[in-house]
Amino acid sequence: MQRKVLVAGAQGVIGRAAAIRLAAQPETTVLGLSRRTEPAIPNVEAVSVDLLDPARVRESLGEVRDVTHIVFGAYIEKQTAAEKSTVNVAILRNLLDVVEETSPGLRHVTFYQGGKAYGADLGPFKTPAREDDPRLMPPNFYYDQEDLLRERQKGKDWSFTALRPEAVCGFAIGNPMNLLTVIAVYAAISKELGIPLRFPGTEAAYRALYQVSSADILAEAADWAGTTPAARNEIFNITNGDYFRWQHMWPRIARMFGMDWADPIPMPLATYMTDKGPLWDRMTKRYGLQPIPYDKVASWPFGDFIFASGFDNISSTIKARQAGFQACIDTEDMFRNQFRHLSDLKVIPLVP
């Protein structure tokens, strides 16, 4: 069956992976929506649009017809929870206002939530987290986007699916929440300085159980959700399918870069890495890397947040398995493969 998919936030780590996955499927046309249209995504038509401006959304998409699926990975960062809800509900509403009008054959909307639905950003929470766990005190833009979709979907033929990953790992430029590039750039700079790779977070975080989500696994889940009746109007936790402790994973990551490692030291990356721009510029020239601005290649505050979370962060993926989604990956293999991919893309120096 023919699909025409709008991927909102196509230049982000989630949206880019989804667009690449969907564009490779038969009988599928993909339009990538983003304020930026570079770097280009193979076989994806780039559409520059500011989803926060209703008039611009209509101007950019008003002539686009026959959309069957929306994959909504767009996100706008704001300081407060209330501000996040206001703007992130608005961009979803603005897109739906146009697509529902121009594409009456719309069949499915996939959107993304995450650990904040369980309070992972607030402190220790019930684990393993399940999709039927009760909501927290609002505002929470995940809940507000979900409520918008549930209300608009009533009496209509289209359905939605919410996917809940944790610490998505993949490639995107300027993405504020990308753990992969934080680790990769931190390791590359440490190696260049001739120092061992130290875990820069707390002892508690070093020993806590954690999980991550491969952007590729998440993209596969978006593809699955849009065509699977069991996913209609449901929420699913989507992670790699395993758990780990940094105390065991960190030495293995060091070996992936051909480095020694040392005992963890709580070292705020936002303090100690922000002055490394000139060094990164020299490394870019020395190793022939992509000329990505240093402030766009990694988000140190996000790394600090993850590496200071001194409590278990695990969620159950049983519901997705029971609904038919079986994709998984060993997280050590994911890190190894993705570091090599970043090296192949000339984002970081050669990985042994």
How high is the pLDDT of residue 302? 95
Q: pLDDT tens digits for 33-88?
A: 999 888 899 999 999 999 999 999 999 999 999 999 999 999 999 999 999 999 99
How high is the pLDDT of residue 160? 98
How high is the pLDDT of residue 132? 98
Q: Any residues with CB less than 8 A from the CB of 253 and at least 6 apart, and which?
A: 183, 187, 197, 335
Please indicate, yes or no, if residue 162 is contained in any of the structural domains.
Answer: yes
Please indicate, yes or no, if residue 275 is contained in any of the structural domains.
Answer: yes
pLDDT band with cut points at 50, 70 and 90 for residue 352? confident
Contact call for residues 95 and 101 (beta carbons, < 8 A): no
Span 148-155, average pLDDT: 97
Same domain, 258 and 183: yes
> 237, 270, 287 — which closes off a domain?
237
DSSP reduced 3-state for 105: coil
Tell me the average pLDDT of the chain: 97
Q: Is 123 left (phi over 0), alpha (psi -120 to 50) or beta?
A: left
Contact call for residues 177 and 302 (beta carbons, < 8 A): yes
Please indicate, yes or no, if residue 224 is contained in any of the structural domains.
Answer: yes
Same domain, 271 and 188: yes
Q: Which domain holds residue 100?
A: 3-167+215-237
> 237, 271, 292 — which closes off a domain?
237
Same domain, 270 and 140: no
Whether the predicted pLDDT of 174 surpasses 90: no
CATH number, position 29: 3.40.50.720
Contact call for residues 174 and 141 (beta carbons, < 8 A): no
pLDDT band with cut points at 50, 70 and 90 for residue 241? very high
Same domain, 202 and 128: no
* Four-point Cα dihedral 261, 266, 268, 272, nearest 10: -50
pTM of the prediction? 0.96
Please indicate, yes or no, if residue 323 is contained in any of the structural domains.
Answer: no
Q: pLDDT tens digits for 180-234?
A: 999 999 999 999 999 999 999 999 999 999 999 999 999 999 999 999 999 999 9
Please indicate, yes or no, if residue 321 is contained in any of the structural domains.
Answer: no
Same domain, 227 and 113: yes
How high is the pLDDT of residue 173? 83
Q: pLDDT tens digits for 89-122?
A: 999 999 999 999 999 999 999 999 999 999 999 9
